[in-house]
Amino acid sequence: MRSLTVCTALGCALLLHGCVAINIYFPAAAAEKAADKIIDEVWQLKKPGEPATPSSDTPQSK
């Protein structure tokens, strides 16, 4: 009975830890993906019908 209580307490502690760990974690890759999507639309970098892959043939300054 006592070990069960300990087990529950441990479970609660882990649960709390999980919450904290997830809350402080910033998904950098997902944020980049979201930023790219929005910037492409704001700056009209991808015309409709063009392939979704980043084109390497865009005019560069060289």
Partner 1 sequence: MRIMNISRCGWLALLLLLAGGAWAQANLEVNTPAIAALQSSMQKRHVELAPSYANGAIGLTRDGFVALRDANAVPLAQRQQINGLIAAENQDRSALYREIARANGKPEWENDIRTTFAQRWIDKAQGGWHYQNNAGAWTRK
**Residues 55, 46: Cα–Cα separation, whole Å:** 9
**Residues 8, 44: Cα–Cα separation, whole Å:** 54
20 belongs to the binding site for partner 1 (CB under 8 A) = no
Q: Which is nearer to partner 1, 1 or 49 (CB)?
A: 1
With a CB cutoff of 8 Å and minimum separation 6, the contacts of 46 are: 40, 52
Site track for partner 1 across 42-61, x = CB under 8 A: xxxx-------------xxx
Binding residues for partner 1 (CB under 8 A): 1, 4-5, 7-8, 11-12, 14-15, 18-19, 21-23, 25-45, 59-62
